[in-house]
């Protein structure tokens, strides 16, 4: 991941991570930049800078994770010990919604760490952020992992997103994307079919009897019906 701070069309700071203070008691917000690889001494107080965040993706090269302008009220000194720098000011997102969780997932990946999905609380926003990060990184996959039988153990499923996480890991592997609801799940199948036709793969479902929530049971039935439309063999 790469973060660039730009003043008057010139990059004066580059780093690998940023954290935007989620609490805004007034119009100002604080951002701390970490793992700095380039910094130049410039006067940015009472000026407007541009912050641009990008990362490498699986298929599309460098992708944008967003950009925004910030009118600077204060800035700290470069902290050599922590290799960090902070600014405080008014943020203008210009239609871009900054999502710290997505940034945090990409930071996890660049540290070669994996996201522990099932340690997250039910309906955790971080699960949604991880799913969104996978979409940004991988996009719609065009080919499944080569397996004789795909296995989906749904005994650990407690919410809708769990289905699609398990499917993404089984069919596309780490950082793969297989939708976030039934509609996007179907879109992913359409994309694979467009490139490879009907794959006629076999899927073994395990742990279905452990589902007690009626909505999850209904979703599983819908998922199976969609898979049958795409000529999967279900056992």
| Token pair in block for residue 182 | 């039934």
| Token pair in block for residue 234 | 């279900």
Same domain, 131 and 218: yes
Same domain, 82 and 170: no
User: In this predicted structure, what is the pLDDT of residue 96?
Assistant: 74
Same domain, 140 and 84: no
Same domain, 154 and 125: yes
Q: State the residue range of the domain holding 66.
A: 2-102
Same domain, 97 and 118: no
Give a yes or no: residue 224 inside a domain: yes
Last residue of a domain, one of 77, 102, 127: 102
Same domain, 94 and 167: no
| Token pair in block for residue 219 | 């979703």
Indicate the SS3 state at residue 71.
Answer: strand
Same domain, 183 and 215: yes
Q: What is the total count of domains within the chain?
A: 2
How far, rounded to the nearest angstrom, does the alpha carbon of residue 119 sit from its chain's CA centroid?
Answer: 17
CA-CA distance, 66 to 194, in Å (whole number)?
Answer: 30
Same domain, 96 and 142: no
Contact 67/51 with Cβ under 8 angstroms? yes
Q: What is the pTM of this model?
A: 0.93
Same domain, 154 and 217: yes
String of DSSP letters for 183-201? HHHHHHHHHHHHHH-----
Q: Which pLDDT tens digits describe the chain residue by residue (235 residues)? A: 999 999 999 999 999 999 999 876 667 899 999 999 999 999 999 999 999 999 999 988 999 998 999 999 999 999 999 999 999 999 987 777 789 999 999 999 999 999 999 999 999 999 999 999 999 999 999 999 999 999 999 999 999 999 999 999 999 999 999 999 999 999 999 999 999 998 889 999 999 999 999 999 999 999 999 999 999 999 9
CA-CA distance, 177 to 140, in Å (whole number)?
Answer: 7
Indicate the SS3 state at residue 235.
Answer: coil
Query: Which distant-in-sequence residues (6+ apart) come within 8 Å of 8 by Cβ?
Result: none
């Amino acid at each position: 991941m790469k973060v660039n701070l730009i003043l008057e069309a010139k990059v004066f700071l580059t780093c690998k991570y940023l954290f935007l203070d989620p609490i805004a008691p007034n119009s100002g917000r604080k951002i701390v930049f970490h793992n700095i690889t380039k910094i130049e001494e410039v006067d940015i107080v009472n000026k407007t800078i541009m912050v641009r965040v990008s990362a490498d993706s699986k298929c599309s090269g460098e992708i944008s994770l967003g950009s925004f302008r910030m009118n600077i009220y204060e800035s700290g000194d470069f902290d050599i010990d922590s290799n960090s720098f902070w600014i405080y000011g008014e943020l203008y997102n210009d239609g871009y919604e900054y999502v710290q969780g997505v940034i945090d997932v990409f930071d996890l990946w660049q540290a070669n760490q994996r996201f522990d999905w099932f340690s997250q609380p039910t309906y955790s926003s971080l699960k949604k952020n991880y799913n969104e990060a996978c979409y940004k990184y991988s996009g719609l996959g065009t080919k499944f992992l080569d397996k004789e039988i795909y296995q989906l153990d749904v005994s650990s499923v407690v919410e809708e997103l769990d289905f699609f996480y398990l499917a993404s890991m089984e069919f596309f592997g780490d950082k793969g994307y297989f939708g976030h609801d039934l509609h996007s799940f179907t879109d992913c199948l359409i994309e694979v079919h467009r490139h490879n036709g009907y794959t006629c793969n076999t899927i073994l479902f395990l742990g279905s009897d452990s589902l007690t929530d009626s909505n999850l049971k209904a979703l599983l039935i819908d998922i199976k019906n969609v898979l049958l439309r795409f000529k999967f063999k279900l056992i």
